[in-house]
Amino acid sequence: MKNVLLVGAPNSGKSALFNRLTGLQHKVANYPGITIDVGSGALRSDPRAQVWDFPGTYSLNAISGEEELAIDALRSALADERPAVVAMVLDATRLEKGLTYCLQVAREAARSKKPFLVLLNMMDILEHNKLVLDLDGLRASLGVPVLPVSARTGDGVEAAEVALVSASATQSPWADTPDALIEGSAQQIADRFVPQGELLVRRQAKIDNWLLGTASGGVAFVVIMTLFFQAIFTWSAPLMDGVEAFILGLGAWLVPLVPEGIFADFFEDAVFGGLGAFLVFVPQIFVLTLIIGALEDSGYLARAALICHRPLSYFGLSGKSFVPLLSGVACAIPAIYAARTMSSRQERLMTYVAIPLMPCSARLPVYALLITVLIPDTTAFGGLVGWQGLVMSGIYFFGIVSALIVAAVASRLGESESRKQAFILELPAYRTPNVWPIIHASVNRAGHFIQKAGSIIFTVTVVVWFLGYFPNGGEDLSASWLATLGIWIQPIFEPLGLDWRYGVAILASFLAREVFVGTLGTIFGIENADDDPAPLAERITESGLTAASGAALVVFFTIALQCVSTVALLARESKSTGFAMRLLLSYLVLAWIAAFAVHGLVSLF
């Protein structure tokens, strides 16, 4: 068993190479610092070797929590007795930025008697632009093996695999080099060998002139973000209709096959009513992840971070909060991980405060359901915009604005008036997004949701069904155990105009927001025992949910932190359970007050 440690600067193509070497599909992204955990996989050509994809760092001197983790992980991997080879991935087109780190790691590797070699990546770009790099000269100066590769085309990867497997520790010229000399040598090597490729920078600058120009940049940003939110709804609509039709069809076909009685009831209410109501939203989650992935890989997100830096700093955040916040539109979990790249603890904590308010995709099913119930499916402005889509955008906007306001307030309240943190962000080259890894990541995310449906949501649905069905065999929901429980918590939700059925669904949704839809689906399924399977929205409409209560529900869901996984991860990442608990409580109280206010307001009309 041999370990291959892939290290290098952010965006040098480590994950892309990792995918080539292992045949796995790790997420690649054109945004500095996107690898968050050390991924691993067996080398394709020799499964006895295990490849490790380390998070990118620019040097062994860490400036952020993420870098510290990465460097600690690397140091302990080097200290490990087992055989390992260190492979430094360098971006041939931006050689200078990785050289200091390269020599630092070469020295550490030499000290721990581990073989060290350089994988010179992105050779395809050099070739494409007819730029030359003196490989032999570079080898001689570095005193270590240098293998030209391209993770994009696969050129040179086989030779690299052979070199990785057969590498053995040799005398390294860097074993005893002091820091100052490392910097000097990095500089000399860069001066001698960096391909003179003004060309590359210039092409990128041309696009940046547009996307970062004072006026054009702002317009582009607004257009891209608008398209982003529109796409989430319009692109996924046909897919969602398809899934819904499929589930209803399946239900109509399967349920009659099950003998009448408790089993048929269970199937219809819990499985098709509860679980089915949730599964309808999986396509939307897929599309959302897909678009964020494509934006990231194109190189635009780093620009968006730059554009947002100033505006966000008024809210106690920074441009580096942008990617975590945008990821929060998909799910708070990856968003919290993405905040690891932030070097300032203060700004990171503020980002944590804002993330739970970002309209995550788990809220989507809830919003979509309530909108279908409350807002007529009509268009405005001569058919240009649908009211439902407009209201959905409004809800998203409300979530984002409240995230910013809360962050601003929290950062003003924060005790430490800590110094503003430096903003250093590498702008990656623009690239055509690499389609397959992005699709793969999106399928994974959708799959993750389905898994969640299979575990948490299914369990909750079954429990809710059980409590609602007994003790009277589904004859009378209002006399069930569930109703007893619901009536007990009724006082909390009554001021919002919500009866106990919603109270129970909200209570269950503190495990995960999507549970709300499944739970309601089950409850209404039991209530309408003899009906044909019908979409949940129809049943809610029939039950007569008022506009004021619907609005209160929406507001409650935009603010409340109803997600066990988020709370747990916040506690872990902030290294403070108190912080996570305070957030949970504050958002609960705030959500209730805001919902109460909105209920009162809407009732006036």
Residue 22 makes contact with Mg ion by CB under 5 A: no
525's CB contacts (< 8 A; 6+ apart) are: 268, 269, 270, 272, 273, 274, 465
Helix boundaries (H) for 23-156: 65-79, 95-111, 123-128, 135-142
Q: How far is the CB of 167 from Mg ion (least distance, A)?
A: 22
Q: How far is the CB of 551 from ligand GDP (least distance, A)?
A: 42
Q: Which partner, ligand GDP, another protein, Mg ion, none, binds residue 170 by CB below 5 to 8 Å per kind?
A: none
Contact letters for ligand GDP, residues 151-190 (x by CB under 6 A)? xx--------------------------------------
For another protein, which is the closer residue by CB, 302 or 362? 302
Q: How far is the CB of 310 from another protein (least distance, A)?
A: 5
List binders of ligand GDP among 134-153 (CB under 6 A).
150-152
Q: How far is the CB of 26 from ligand GDP (least distance, A)?
A: 8
Q: And the tokens for 39?
A: 């991924």
Q: Which partner, Mg ion, ligand GDP, another protein, none, binds residue 195 by CB below 5 to 8 Å per kind?
A: another protein
CA distance 159 to 16: 16
Q: Which partner, Mg ion, another protein, ligand GDP, none, binds residue 425 by CB below 5 to 8 Å per kind?
A: another protein
Q: Which residues of 514-538 are buried (b: 16+ CB within 10 A; e: fewer)?
A: bbbbbbbbbbbbbbbeeeebebbbe
Say how far residue 8 (Cα) sits from the centre of its chain. 23
Residue in 4, 5, 7, 29 binding ligand GDP, rule: CB under 6 A: 29
In 10 A of CB 62, how many CB atoms?
A: 16
CA distance 24 to 43: 10
Residue nearest to ligand GDP (CB): 13
Q: How far is the CB of 77 from another protein (least distance, A)?
A: 21
> Which of 22-30, 62-70, 102-110, 162-170 is the region at the interface with ligand GDP (rule: CB under 6 A)?
22-30
3-class secondary structure, 173 = coil
Q: How far is the CB of 54 from another protein (least distance, A)?
A: 17
List binders of ligand GDP among 424-453 (CB under 6 A).
431, 434
308's CB contacts (< 8 A; 6+ apart) are: 319, 321, 322
478's CB contacts (< 8 A; 6+ apart) are: none
Residue 40 makes contact with Mg ion by CB under 5 A: no
Q: And the tokens for 581?
A: 């608990």
CB 57 within 8 A of CB 71: yes
Q: Which partner, Mg ion, another protein, ligand GDP, none, binds residue 124 by CB below 5 to 8 Å per kind?
A: ligand GDP
156's CB contacts (< 8 A; 6+ apart) are: 123, 147, 148, 149, 150
For another protein, which is the closer residue by CB, 122 or 441? 122
Residue in 66, 67, 124, 527 binding ligand GDP, rule: CB under 6 A: 124
Q: How far is the CB of 180 from another protein (least distance, A)?
A: 11
Residue 359 makes contact with ligand GDP by CB under 6 A: no
**Strand 84-91 to 116-121 pairing:** parallel
Choose among 201, 212, 422, 430: nearest CA to 319: 422
Q: Which partner, ligand GDP, Mg ion, another protein, none, binds residue 452 by CB below 5 to 8 Å per kind?
A: none
Please tell me the count of residues contacting ligand GDP according to CB under 6 A.
24
Q: Which partner, Mg ion, another protein, ligand GDP, none, binds residue 151 by CB below 5 to 8 Å per kind?
A: ligand GDP
Choose among 12, 27, 174, 160: nearest CA to 105: 174
> Which of 27-35, 36-44, 123-131, 521-529 is the region at the interface with Mg ion (rule: CB under 5 A)?
27-35
3-class secondary structure, 33 = coil
Residue in 35, 93, 121, 284 binding Mg ion, rule: CB under 5 A: 35
Q: How far is the CB of 29 from another protein (least distance, A)?
A: 17
CA distances from 441 to 292, 429, 438 (A): 11, 22, 5
Q: And the tokens for 314?
A: 């008024």
Q: How far is the CB of 303 from another protein (least distance, A)?
A: 8
Q: How far is the CB of 59 from Mg ion (least distance, A)?
A: 17
CA distance 81 to 284: 47
For another protein, which is the closer residue by CB, 162 or 219? 219
Q: How far is the CB of 159 from another protein (least distance, A)?
A: 25
Q: Which residues bind another protein (CB under 8 A)?
A: 58-59, 61, 63, 93-97, 99-101, 183, 186-187, 190, 194-195, 197, 200-201, 204-205, 208-209, 212-215, 217, 302, 306-307, 309-310, 319, 343, 420, 422-427
CB 120 within 8 A of CB 149: yes
CA distance 55 to 60: 12
CA distances from 337 to 66, 302, 342, 352, 424 (A): 9, 17, 10, 10, 19
Residue 28 makes contact with ligand GDP by CB under 6 A: yes
List binders of Mg ion among 288-327 (CB under 5 A).
none
> Which of 7-15, 38-46, 111-119, 144-152 is the region at the interface with Mg ion (rule: CB under 5 A)?
7-15
Residue 15 makes contact with ligand GDP by CB under 6 A: yes
Helix boundaries (H) for 212-357: 214-234, 236-254, 262-266, 276-279, 282-298, 300-313, 322-328, 332-338, 345-354
Amino acid at 29: A
Q: How far is the CB of 169 from ligand GDP (least distance, A)?
A: 25
CA distances from 339 to 197, 256, 301, 354, 570 (A): 33, 50, 14, 11, 11
Residue in 12, 15, 30, 327 binding Mg ion, rule: CB under 5 A: 15
Residue in 14, 107, 320, 363 binding ligand GDP, rule: CB under 6 A: 14
Q: How far is the CB of 147 from another protein (least distance, A)?
A: 20
Residues that bind Mg ion in the complex, under the rule CB under 5 A:
14-15, 35
Task: Please give the residue ranges that form the binding site for ligand GDP (CB under 6 A).
Answer: 8, 10-16, 28-30, 34-35, 56, 121-122, 124-125, 150-152, 297, 431, 434
